[in-house]
A and B are shown apart, each in its own frame.
With several copies, the nearest count.
Chain A
Amino acid sequence: MTETTVALAERSADGYDRELLLSMYRSMVKIREVEQALVRLFAQGRMPGFIHSYIGEEATAVGVCSALRRDDYITSTHRGHGHILAKGGDLDRFMAEIYGRSTGYSGGKGGSMHIADLDLGILGANGIVGGGIPIAAGAACSARMAGSDRVAVSFFGDGASDIGVFHESLNLAAVWDLPVVFVCENNGYADFIATHEHQRVKNISDRAAAYGMPGEWFDGNDVLAAHEATIRAVERARAGAGPTLLEAKTYRWRGHYEGDPQPYRTSDEVEKWRERDPIPAFAGFLERNQIQTAEEAGTVRDEELERLERAIKFAEASPEPEPRDALRDTYTDIVERGW
């Protein structure tokens, strides 16, 4: 296990492309604002279902996805909004899907937990913990068999690292030397259970050794740490050197789901992590390195808020799906009988 994290405060921007850094910042802000809006709108009863907020973990999705190409694959989770947006998901269709509208990514069939965009390599959020892990590996297998240098990334949580299919997938990906990067977002909790209560390993990335693959953890609130660790893993993958297990150490600011009363943790604990907010930290970095001023940061936020407003309007103005739409899309050829 290599420890690679250098605190953001001490980093330099040398070697980084300016545009890349700016787009990373924008992406983090976008996710934060979208998630905050969803929290608010959900509390107002504006959308059905459940919301699992990604607030506080933005650096991980953005750091990882900014190390990927458009044609690389990802699989995501129930807490997937950040991944979808970081990989370039269309905000209108994203928002409409969460609202359950016909203009959404799945026409309202999937909702928050099942957003996908195959053109962007997004093979789907997933409602089953760990469900996306073998799917990413299978996509990596496609890349390998096609002789392309595409890679796949699977996002999943600390809780997911305990489920059987995690083990099977990492083992098989290692045996087949597949170009896949397993990104475990250790956000301190699986539902109401703290990480140290559901496993006894020091770092989840240490589990890599069980598969003979490299493992590395990074500060999941440091977008550059996330980016760099991913770059290393992706390079190995593209070069045919097989999979890597990465662990992002981060924190879930909000409850497991919106509405979670959270008796299982203290507000002190949450507060401590809020002080490690990845967004101002990165803004500070950009400022120190003369890449973006505080004012420009404000503009980014304003622009993203405006874009977001349009997406919300789009979603709210979109029609509900027609009931009989439910009968399509189970198969490519059969349309089911309705009533």
Chain B
Amino acid sequence: MPEMTYADAVAKGLSDAMRENDKVWVLGEDVSHGGAYGATQGLKDLFGGDRVRDTPISEAAIIGFSVGSAMTGWRPVAELMHMDFSACAMDQLVNQLAKMRYMMGGSTSLPATVRCGVGGWLNAAAQHSQSLEAWFTHIPGLKVAAAATPADVRAVLLAAIRDDDPVIVLESLSLYPEKGEVSDDPVAAPLGIADVKRPGDDLTILTWGGTVPRVLRAAETAAAHAVSAEVIDLLWLHPLDREAIVRSIEKTHRVLIVHQACERAGFGAEIAAFIAAEAFDLLDAPIRRVAGLNVPVPFAPALENYVLPGEERIARAIFEVAA
């Protein structure tokens, strides 16, 4: 299988989807030029300016046009360069895109995909580093996915675009340059199915997006100290793979949740609440979260690395939970 960067894998997923269905089109700021981070590179050459459309800096219109497009037979794929900018489009995302089908009693569907560049470790400070997936998982009508490898992001994107409901796809900005193998065939990720990225027996680590590689490295460290962590990359936050979570806890009886977003009211809270309600009797230890500290993401590397959940902090938590 060919190796490519995460950013190229995004472009590949998009071109797979555009090739298999000519109702798929792409819009966003700079997308005809590859986008700010190269994730739409080459699409305009392949599919033309009608299906790869640059927009002004108008996030509300980007999503609003997508709503109208999706209601009238097309499959728009909108890019929000940084997820922070979704704040400029929340009405269209939440009050329109998410609810339109329901408000109409099911008489329409909205097969739109919204791709968001997510997270920190870019030294881009508080307005360009947020992971806001919790907002969207809270809103019925949206599906939410995240991917941490080139193969996964391609597969998740394909699944999202094929899906008949709106899907918010989180792409980890810090992973864009990372390389990995991606198959030639367009393989879509099965909806709502998590991926056990590393099997283990002593504790279950639930994570997604930008923290996946960090968790895997921390799990390596732990393994060197005879702690065997099972690492589950959720891939889908909604629908959530509850069975996979419970299955793993049945084995390990201990849970650590890791995510990049701020801890308070992050999606990790929902997972913990689910477990505390539905798998309570399986637990041998408190449910532990390691997440972004409850502060805005600061600029200076020394600060940012302290605030975001890095390998060292994750490793410490692994030992504590396993103890």
List chain A positions with a Cβ less than 8 A from chain B.
48-50, 73, 75, 100-101, 104-111, 113-114, 116-118, 123-124, 126-131, 133-143, 145-146, 152, 159-160, 162-165, 168-169, 171-172, 175-176, 190-193, 197-199, 263-264, 320-334, 336-339
A322, B296: Cα distance in complex, Å = 16
Check B100 against A124 for contact (C-beta < 8 Å): yes
Within 8 A of A (CB), among B225-260: 239
Q: Is the CB of A106 within 8 A of B306?
A: no
What is the interface size of chain B, counting residues whose CB is below 8 A from a CB of the partner? 77
Chain A hits for B55, CB < 8 A: 172, 198
Cα(A210)–Cα(B102), bound, Å: 36
Q: B residues 98-132 with Cβ under 8 Å of A?
A: 100-109, 122-128
In angstroms, Cα B51 to Cα A142, docked, is 11
Measured CA separation A159–B81 after assembly (Å): 15
Contact A337/B294 with A100-B300, A131-B91, A172-B56 known, Cβ cut-off 8 Å: yes
Interface residues of B in 279-307 (CB under 8 A from A): 293-296, 298-307
State whether B60 touches A139 (Cβ < 8 A). Answer: no
Residue of A nearest to B312 (CB): A339
- Please list 13 pairs of residues, one from A and one from B, whose beta carbons are closer than 8 Å in the complex, sorted by A's number: A106-B299, A109-B125, A117-B107, A123-B71, A141-B69, A142-B74, A145-B74, A172-B55, A320-B300, A321-B298, A327-B293, A331-B141, A332-B165
Kindly state the separation between the CA atoms of A263 and B33 in the bound complex, as whole angstroms. 8
B51 surroundings in chain A (CB, below 8 A): 145
Interface residues of chain B, those whose CB is within 8 Å of chain A, are 25, 29-30, 33, 36, 50-51, 53-61, 63-74, 76, 84-85, 87-88, 91-92, 95-96, 100-109, 122-128, 140-141, 143, 164-165, 191, 239, 293-296, 298-307, 313, 316
Cα of A127 to Cα of B316 in the assembled complex, Å: 34
Check A109–B300 contact: CB distance below 8 A: yes
Q: Name, among A130, A139, A152, A190, the residue most crowded by chain B CB atoms within 10 Å (CB to CB).
A: A139
Most chain A Cβ neighbours within 10 Å, of B107, B128, B140, B301: B107
Contacts of A140 in B (CB 8 A): 68
What's the Cα separation between A111 and B99 when bound, in Å?
A: 13
Residues of B within 8 A of A321 (CB): 298, 300, 302-303
Q: Which residue of A lies closest to B305 (CB)?
A: A323
Partner of B303, one of A175, A193, A323: A323
The interface residues of chain A lying within 8 Å CB-to-CB of B305 are 323
In contact, A336 and B295 (Cβ under 8 angstroms): yes
- CB pair A48 B72 closer than 8 Å: no
CA distance A172 to B28 in the complex (A): 11
